[in-house]
Structures are given as structure tokens and as C-alpha cells.
Structure 1
Amino acid sequence: MDTLTHMLIGAGIAQLLPKSIQRAQIQAFSWQQKAVIGALAGIFPDIDYLLFPLDPLAFLAYWHRTHTHSIFLAPLWAWILALLWRQYKPCRQQTLLLFWISLAGILSHIISDSLTIYGTRWFSPLLNYQISWDLLFVVDIYFTLSILVTLILLILLRHKPFRACACLIPFAYLVLVIVLKSAAYNRLASPEKNLAQTSAPLILVPQPFSPFYWQAIKVADKAFYQAYLKLTDDNLGNKLSQLSGLAFNHLSYRLPGQIHWHRYPLMPDNPDWQTDAEKVWQHEKFSAFRDFTDYPVFYAYHQQAKTSCVWFSDLRYHWPGIVPTFRFGMCKKVGDSWQVVRMKYLSQGQVQKLN
């Protein structure tokens, strides 16, 4: 989930604390103060991004959305935030209220991140289980607008006992997304007869800018089959894609009866590349990518002068017109060992060597 949405949710949740908690304090916070504290708590779990420069691949596979996104550790983080806020003079006598606002903001972040495809480890460090409901793209302008409207209503109705009813707006949007996803499942035809007979489930992945657009993935013939699906045209979503500045191609999304399925193998079809691809995929230093990816596919093979590079990506992060977000591989010069590398986000081939 994007930072702005996390902040809006945190600011809104802070307005919903029971009055019994607020009355127990010497002086209640204003709605502005609660909004600021809640918004900052709402983005706190993403402090783990400070670890990204140390090892981007290990960060994605093992560090991101783990300890700072744990419901078990959330009270600890909330208490630390409360102690930090106490250094601010107007907050010195409000430790308990600071704790509850911070805890609410952190928990809202954990839950909202679980709406995306990435997955969140709620029970870290006790369990490594990831929770992912695969309903929203990381940036969903409709969901963000529903949160913004809810926050405005919570502020305007802050003295009304029924103010919490405003939260029905984003929940109604999530219900709509669930209905749309179910409709996509029901209307989607299998790409080939043999695919319909496989036991592997059909996966639908949320796509940028619209809840009407989905990516369909199915496993068959030792490969992934992928298609871009739309339930209907979304003119607003298409306008947003143009304003984003990205080369997102919404025309690649087709109605259920018109979709084109594409095959993505784990290993390259070119026999001259297969030996190196197998070595890289099974390499001990590449285990972090194997642990990270859910739908690994061969991306590219580059050979230049005395250097060979094998690249893989995750099909979850393939969008039409945009280079895949996560592209990792290994490169080797003649006489040297394989080295883990990554292509930087949105670059056309800017390579970074990893540890």
C-alpha cells in the first residue's frame, strides 16, 4: 500500500478511539493532533525500508513486512513511539493515549498491506506465514479516495455517536472488489483444454489503476500461462494511467472472450541458454530469490564480450508496457564465479551487483 493511503488510514483510525480512553487523560488531543500522530504511526512499519540498501534481495525475501509488520510486535513499536512522542511537551502527560493511537495506526498499516499481492508476515518472528488477500494493487486511487472521504466525515462528525458509520465507505469498496474478482473468475475461460484439466488453481492478481483489470495466471505444461483481463472499460483508470507518467498500456486488457494467453517458462526454450539458466536457478547464492518469488519465470539471457547474465522475474509484477519491477539474476565472467545482480526499478538495463 502506498504511503499516502497509510497516512490517511492512520489519521482516520486515530479519530475513532473510544471516549473512555480519552477521558482517562489529563487533556484530550485535538483532532489535528490525533491525525498527525495516527498518520505517522500509520507509516511507521515501513521503516524497514532503511534495510533495503544493505541487500535488496534479502530485504524482499526475508526482511520486508516481517518484524515491523507483526501483530505480536506491534505493541512494542507503539510503546516506543509513545515514548518518543512524550519528548514533545504537549504530549508528556498522555502516554496511554499516545500508545493507543500509535497501536491503532500500526495495526491499520499491517492489515491494509495484506490487501495487496505482496503478503505480510503477521506472526513474525514466531511464524513465517504470509497473509495476502490479493484484492488491491499497491496504489489504488479509488480506495485512497474512499479513505479520504471517510477521514473528512470522521472529522466533520467527530462529536456524533454514529461517526464510525463513515468507515462503511472503504469497506463497501472492498466488497465491490471482491464481487468484481468473483465475476472475473466466473467469466474467465481456460486458455486451452488441457489447462482446464489441470489441478492448479487459477490466480487473479490486481492490476494498476482499476479494480476492473486483472492479471490471470495458471500453471500448466511446466510453465505459467498469463493473460490480462478486463471486466469493462475504465475511462477514469485509463486517464490515471496516462497521468502517472508510466508507459502503462491499458489496451492490453481484454474482455474474457477476447483475451490472449501467453506462456512463460521457468527455463528458456533456447537450448543454448538452458545450462546456464539451470545453474543460476539452483545456485546457493540465488536462494533468496527462490524464497521471494511465487511465480518465477525466465526473463532474459544476456551475453556480451566475456560476460554472461541470466535473468528471472516474478510474474506477479508484470504489467503491460512497464518493465517488470523485480528482475534478479546472476552474471559471470569467463573464469570467474557467478555473481548475484539486479536491474534497478523501471530501468531498461541498469545493473547493480549485490553482496
Structure 2
Amino acid sequence: MDSITQIALGSAVGHAVLGRQIGRRAALWGALLGTLPDLDVFLPAANDVAAFTEHRGFSHSLLVIAAITPLLVWLARRLHPDTAHLRGRWYALIFLVLTTHVLLDAFTVYGTQLFWPLSDYPVSGSVIFIIDPLYTLPLLIGVGIALFARDTDRGMRANTVGLVLSCLYLAWACGAKWHTDTVVREYLARENMPHERVLTTPGAFNTLIWRIVVMDDDGYYEGFYSLIDGHPAPTFTRHVQTPEQLEPLHALPHVDRLRRFTHGFYSVREQDNTLILSDLRMGMRDSYVFRFALATQDQDTGWQAITPYQLETRYSSGQLGWLWRRLRSAELE
């Protein structure tokens, strides 16, 4: 999730655990710890593909969190000697803030390596968009009231309400995904549509419109399904991938790593004599968030691997406009 959400969640969890005992310091520790796992983005990486696939790695591992929690508890008690008797609550605050961070990330489509180093498999729930105001706002309001309320009990209640509402929204998102998955499975079976793998993920900033990617041997379908427009079936657009487009991948480094990290949801295209691989899980057609240049074409030697680099994302305001119109008027385009 985005940094604001993780800070808000960490602050709310921290205040819920230790706010009554140490006041605003609990929320501050929660905010700092809620940011800590994402600091891995500042670590050096060999190239853009490595940075992409190593993010949410060791710093998001439940095993690493369990190992470093005692050290962080020792540090907190050293910095706040007046709270040394609250050792158990410090353990709860630190472990819960770090754990809720990585578990929330695992609900997004990007993927989180929860069991590193035993496994580098990126767990991906695809339940909530990486930025969702309806999840974040209750946390911000609740912890905001708690920080400035003169009445401690009132502040604790407001913070608890914020946490409960955010959890209920996440539960709603899980239910919406389950319903969407059911609709898509029934549609594929009814239409006898061949497929190898299927992805459903919420549209930008909401859980009412869901994006669907269906992979098959010759390319993929990209479609959308709305919970509110009254249409019982998703709408799809076909995108063809020829064997000639995919053939150069076999000899290129980094491809296996990208295949595994994207769970196989990727496309390949040639642009200006450059071979580009796009992660189909995030973004929309022609505006995918993660696109990597992997090779360039030479007239004599064919495709030659290059140091991979990420291409700039070109966002389309028209796509967000379409999403908004569909949310408002159930418009199909």
C-alpha cells in the first residue's frame, strides 16, 4: 500500500496497543515502524528488474519480523526507560505494526515475499488497490481524533472505530473479489473461453469495478466487471501475442525472474527496435505501471540483451475519466 496508508495503519495500531499508557509516543512509534519495511526501496540494486523483484523481500518477511522484534523492543525500552515495565505491550506494538504492514501489502496485486528466505514467492491477494481512500480515511480520522482529543477514552474509542471500519472495508473487498471471481469463472465456462490463468484485481481507487486479465496460448484478454452497473457478465478486449514476439525471450536473462514475479501475467512488444516486457497486473492497456526494456535488435545478430531498465509510465487521464463515468452512470465502453 501507499506510504500514507501504512503510516496511518501503524499509528492506529500503535495507539491502540500503548496509547493509554504512553500517549502520543505510541502513535509516533507506530508511524515510524509502519514506514520501516518500505525503506528497502533505498537499497542499491543491480538493475531495474532486480529493484522491482527484490522490493517487499526480506524487509517484508514474517520470519525477519519475528527475529528483529526483540531488538526493536530493547531499543524502545532504552529510549523510554520510564516504560521498561511495559515490555509485553512493546512486543505487541512492534510485532503487530510490522505484521499488519506486510499482511496488508500481501492483499495488493504487487506481491509480498512473506516467507523469505525460505521462499521468495510473492504472495499476492489482489484484493485492494495500492491506493484506496475508503480504506485509509477511517484510519486517518480515527488516529487524528485520538492524537488531539483531550479525553483519553474518547480518543481510544475513535481510534478503535477507525481500525474496525478499515477492517470491515477490507472484508468487503474480499467478498467483492470472491463474487467477481465467481462471475468470471462462470463466464469462461459458459463461453468455453480457453485460458491458462486468470487475474481479477480492483480498479484504481475503488472496489466496485474490477479489472480482469485472462491469459491463453495466443495472448490475453483484458476486461472489466462492475458490481453496480447491472450487467451480469464482464466485457473483454482481445490482445494477440504471436510466437515471433515471444521467441526472443527464451535467450534473455531476467525473463524467468519477471515471469515468476508477475505470476505469468505479462506481455511482450517491440517498439523502436527494443523488446519491452510489461507487467499486466498493474495499469491498463498502453499505461502499464511496470514496463522493462530487455533487448535491442541488430540487423546482423538479431536480438541482443541489454542491461534492463524501466520505462516511464505514461498515464492516461482518459482512462481514469472512463472509470469515473462508469462508476457514475454504469456506462460501458
TM range (shorter): 0.7 to 0.9
**In structure 2, C-alpha distance between the alignment counterparts of 1:130 and 1:226, rounded to whole Å:** 22
Task: Give unmatched runs, 5+ long, in structure 1.
Answer: 23-27, 234-254, 349-355
Q: Greater shift after overlay, 176-185 or 67-76? A: 176-185
Residue 344 in structure 1 maps to residue 311 in structure 2: yes
| 1:104 alignment partner AA | L
Unaligned runs of 5+ in 2: 316-333
Which segment is superposed worse, 9-18 or 187-196? Answer: 187-196
The answer for the alignment partner of 1:190 in structure 2 is: 187
Q: Distance in 2 between matches of 1:300 and 1:115?
A: 29
Q: Does 1:210 align with 2:206?
A: yes
Residue 55 of structure 1 deviates from its aligned partner by 2.4
Percent identical pairs in the alignment equals: 20
- The 4+ residue runs of structure 1 with deviation greater than 6 A are none
TM-superposed CA distance for 1:226, in Å, is 1.7
Matched with 2:291 is 327
The CA deviation string for residues 99-142 of structure 1, in whole angstroms up to 9 with x for no partner, is 54332221121111111112222221123343322210000111
Q: Which amino acid in 1 is paired with 2:239?
A: Y
TM-aligned CA distance change 1:277 to 1:340, over 3 Å: farther
Residue number in structure 2 paired with 1:49:
41
Change (3 A) 1:100 1:172: closer
Q: Name the amino acid aligned to 1:112.
A: L
Deviations 1:208-240 (A, max 9, x none): 11110111122334432220222226xxxxxxx
Aligned to 2:277: 312
Structure-2 change in CA distance of 1:199 and 1:287 (3 Å)? closer
The CA distance in 1 between the partners of 2:178 and 2:113, in whole Å, is 25
Q: Show the 5 A alignment for 1:63-142.
A: 63-82=54-73, 85=76, 88=79, 91-94=80-83, 96=87, 98-142=90-134
Q: Equivalents in 1 of 2:189, 2:114: separation in Å?
A: 38
| Count of residues in Structure 1 that have an aligned counterpart in Structure 2 | 304
Letter in 2 for 1:318: G
1:142–1:68 distance in 2 versus 1, CA, 3 Å: same
Q: TM-score, normalised by structure 1?
A: 0.73
Using the alignment, how far apart are the partners of 2:305 and 2:156 within structure 1?
62
2: CA distance, partners of 1:5 / 1:277: 38
Deviation, structure 1 residue 311: 1.1
Show the 5 A alignment for 1:286-297. 286-297=255-266
SS in 2 for 1:300: strand
Does the CA-based 8 Å contact 1:223-1:264 persist in structure 2? yes
Structure showing greater relative contact order (alpha-carbon pairs closer than 8 Å, 6 or more residues apart): 2
TM-score, length-scaled by structure 2: 0.77
Kindly state the Cα deviation for residue 57 of structure 1 after the two structures are TM-superposed: 0.8
